Structure 1
Amino acid sequence: MSEVRVRFPPSPTGYLHIGGARTAIYNWLFARKHGGKLVLRIEDTDAERSTEESIKGIIEGLEWLGVDWDEGPYFQSAFAAEHVAAAEKLLAAGHAYKCFCTKEELEARREAAAAAKADYRYNGACRELSPEEVAAKEAAGLPAVIRFKVPQGEGGVAFNDVVYGGVERNYRDIEDFVIVRSNGLPLYLLCNVVDDIRDRISHVIRGQDGLVNTPRQILLYRALGTTPPTFAHMPLTLDLKKAKISKRSHGEIVAVQFYRDHGFLPWALVNFLVLLGWSAGDDREIFSKEELIEAFTLEGVNRANSIFNYRKDDPKFFTDPKAININAHYLRTIPVAELAQRVRPVLEKEGLWDPAYEGEKQEWFHKTLEMSRERFHTLTDFATLGRAWFADDFSMDETALQKNLLKHPQMKEWLPQLAQRFAALPEITHDEAERVAREFAEEHGVKPGVPINAARAVITGQNKGPSMFEVFAHLDREKVVQRLREAGKYFEGQS
């Protein structure tokens, strides 16, 4: 394969959403697999909708994901003169012409086609205007667009898409399309081609919705004297109702920043997004960076659209369950030192961070993360479900309250008694905690799980978690004793 050069060309009209991020990731993986280059190009020619905030958000999103680029960011607006020059070149070579048809004339033709139940295509009314007729209309001040002159007669455009296979479109099915507006601004179709030629793009990897433009763009490549790149169109990402995922219709839940702010690890999101439409050809779903680069091929991309199973109504699994599970896997398996760095900003945001966690309390902090992460799914869980490790003002899980406390009203007196047993120990170790808890249960004629689970509820606020003997030994003894002594407050107001 000759030099691989791919590009990711987002429009800065909003945040980086997961569909765009997946396209960027596929391009990035392909470039890294083949030792190629990834060009970041910001297509900012829509001045009314493009914003600096969006540009910043796109770049921050890519950086957070770890999708690094080799060239750019280039801004499409900086090359406006090249786009205009290309249009003039096409005019001079007879591949394009000026069209003076008014909006009213075009609309009347569309309505007539609709009334006849026929497909509408521009009829080429201005295609054969003589130079004198063009000059006369220009002298009269009539506005004009520039249309590409599609070849007529038999034949068409044929190309092989890496994902969808052979694609053909007859010339007669392609109208003479506009490449420059009447205000002199070139359209996306032309700008995109000119930019790809300048950036020497070898492979265009983009969403399936771009497939409809490909025959027209191939005509532009050829007319500009360039061999078209190889095309690979990705399947669309749909919601559960089979609607295309988009910023406009789905809101922030499809934004990359949403996942960052809700406790996702960057590589976990990359791993999940790659699987939306691609397979390594086996059952693997978890990949390291090196494994994914090695395994990725465009041939592994599916033709069928993928389903993004987000759930706005479930506060715990607010997004695709597979995404949550992949994130939980990485949360539980990355080195604890790395996890500590990821958790720190979450705790800082909630006012739970102690600088000592990077000093004299670092060992305690790391062990806390090791103990608690097995049941967590996102980084934010450390500040919500795990809040009791770092603060005394934590809420109690309703299941823990009902099942482990209120179901056993005797715990109102028993837990303070258990607190006295722990307070009498010179040190709470795992073995001593187990001995005291089991003896306490035996003396009161209940199974050990009854007081142990009740203690879990008032000490951690949770129904499940790590071994309570480890919790007794790890959490500050004064906190253990205090929380057991205050167990009665959970029974106040209960009949």
Structure 2
Amino acid sequence: MSQHRTRLAPSPTGALHLGNARTFLVNWALARQQGWQIVLRIEDLDGPRIKQGAAEEAIDILTWLGLDWDEGPFYQLADLTPYTAALEKLGSQGDIYPCACTRKQIEEASLSAPHDDDHERRYPGTCRPPKRVPISNQQLLQEGTALRLRVPPGDVTFVDEFAGEQAWNVEQLVGDFLVGTKLGLPGYQLAVVVDDARQGITQIVRGDDLLSSTPRQLILYEKLGLGPVPLYTHLPMVVGEDGRRLAKRHGDTRLSYYREKGVTPERILGLLAHWCGLDEQREMTAKEFAQNFELSNLPREQIVYTPSDLR
């Protein structure tokens, strides 16, 4: 195992679009520039949102763009044992508790606005026991009941490699967050931490829509005693002209759509390179991008996808 490792971690909840591609390209380029090993991980725990064939398409598209990896693909759903073991540890410590609240109940009980663009409201603590109570293994990952982590008060601080110094109060922002879902599956925050730790990930490069997830994951690193935490690099997102993350409302930005129309990967990469601070917009390969890309030149504001980019 090399000293530094990163991961490409697509979620097969839909097709990869230009915004996803820009983040993956920067992550890949940094790894190849600095000698990090790359792990390909398919984050497929999101139950009903998973689209059939999306994982295979994501792997195919990444290869089409010229990106490669050193290990994987690994599928989270293939083995739930590591996540169950983590929940058993949290349960024995009294750090988690069962929650039967519905989304509607949380919305009615919460006075906070949805968090960012993911409609997440602060959990008001309806099911939280007044004191820490260990829970049995039989109460873990039962369908119909979620599991929440008891979040400590105060700020979680860290230094992001691109976004700089950060301080987030998770208790005030989202409250006790999910680590197990009502479908009987581990929650995103828990699964990511467990996988990053066991796969030896030391460098995490992702979109800044996940910046608020980092303090939650740092809390889990501490509660689980997982040792050194990774270095985080959060990149500004690609958004539509309305300032919202890319979606169908902005037209078809799927990479598969462009490929079906005969657009070459070099043309796609040329646009992504322009969005990454390379002055001259021209067709290029992934290898050429890695040779010319510098993180210090990446624009610090969001990139706005416009009709001229489509043309």
* TM tier relative to shorter chain: 0.7 to 0.9
CA contact 2:238–2:302 (8 Å) conserved in 1: yes
More helix by share: 1
Q: Can you give the 5+ residue segments of structure 1 that lack an aligned partner in the other structure?
A: 312-318, 322-495
In the other structure, the counterpart of 2:267 is 268
1:307 to 280, 304, 308: 304
CA contact 1:42–1:75 (8 Å) conserved in 2: yes
Could you tell me how far 1:171 is from its partner in structure 2?
5.2
2:277 to 276, 279, 282: 279
In the other structure, the counterpart of 2:167 is 168
Partner deviation per Cα, 1:425-466 (whole Å, 9 max, x = no partner): xxxxxxxxxxxxxxxxxxxxxxxxxxxxxxxxxxxxxxxxxx
Q: Distance in 2 between matches of 1:105 and 1:245?
A: 29
In the other structure, the counterpart of 1:35 is 35
Q: Residues 326-341 of structure 1: matches in 2 within 5 Å?
A: none
| Partner AA of 2:293 in structure 1 | F
| Partner AA of 1:20 in structure 2 | N
CA contact 1:6–1:201 (8 Å) conserved in 2: yes
Q: Distance in 2 between matches of 1:292 and 1:142?
A: 46
Flag the structure with more relative contact order, 1 or 2, with Cα contacts below 8 A and sequence separation at least 6.
2
Could you tell me how far 1:128 is from its partner in structure 2?
2.8
Could you tell me how far 1:180 is from its partner in structure 2?
0.9
Cα separation, partners in 2 of 1:37 and 1:126, compared to 1, 3 Å: same
Cα separation, partners in 2 of 1:100 and 1:130, compared to 1, 3 Å: farther
Pick the structure with greater CA Rg.
1
In the other structure, the counterpart of 2:208 is 208
CA contact 1:239–1:310 (8 Å) conserved in 2: no
Q: Distance in 1 between matches of 2:166 and 2:95?
A: 23
In the other structure, the counterpart of 2:241 is 240
Partner deviation per Cα, 1:198-254 (whole Å, 9 max, x = no partner): 2111111111111121111111112222222111111111223333212x3335x31
CA contact 1:100–1:142 (8 Å) conserved in 2: no
| Partner AA of 1:127 in structure 2 | P
Figure out how many residues of one structure are paired with residues of the other and give that number.
Answer: 296
More strand by share: 2
Bigger drift between 210-219 and 92-101 goes to 92-101
Could you tell me how far 1:102 is from its partner in structure 2?
6.5
Could you tell me how far 1:166 is from its partner in structure 2?
0.6
Q: Distance in 1 between matches of 2:71 and 2:184?
A: 29
Secondary structure of 1:254's counterpart equals coil
Cα separation, partners in 2 of 1:103 and 1:206, compared to 1, 3 Å: closer
Q: Distance in 2 between matches of 1:16 and 1:102?
A: 30
Could you tell me how far 1:304 is from its partner in structure 2?
0.2
Secondary structure of 1:218's counterpart equals helix
Q: Distance in 1 between matches of 2:100 and 2:48?
A: 25
Could you tell me how far 1:72 is from its partner in structure 2?
1.1
| Partner AA of 1:36 in structure 2 | W
In the other structure, the counterpart of 1:258 is 257
User: C-alpha root-mean-square deviation of aligned residues, in Å?
Assistant: 3.0
TM-score, normalization by structure 1: 0.54
Q: Can you give the 5+ residue segments of structure 2 that lack an aligned partner in the other structure?
A: 113-120
Q: Distance in 2 between matches of 1:3 and 1:194?
A: 19
CA contact 1:189–1:213 (8 Å) conserved in 2: yes
In the other structure, the counterpart of 1:231 is 232
| Partner AA of 1:255 in structure 2 | R
Q: Residues 23-422 of structure 1: matches in 2 within 5 Å?
A: 23-99=23-99, 106-110=106-110, 113=111, 120-123=122-125, 125-129=127-131, 131=133, 144-152=145-153, 155-170=154-169, 172-174=171-173, 175-226=175-226, 227-246=228-247, 248-251=248-251, 253-276=252-275, 278-279=276-277, 283-286=279-282, 289-310=286-307, 319-321=309-311
Cα separation, partners in 2 of 1:64 and 1:224, compared to 1, 3 Å: same
TM-score, normalization by structure 2: 0.83
Secondary structure of 1:90's counterpart equals helix
Could you tell me how far 1:179 is from its partner in structure 2?
0.8
In the other structure, the counterpart of 2:118 is none
Cα separation, partners in 2 of 1:34 and 1:104, compared to 1, 3 Å: closer
Could you tell me how far 1:125 is from its partner in structure 2?
4.9
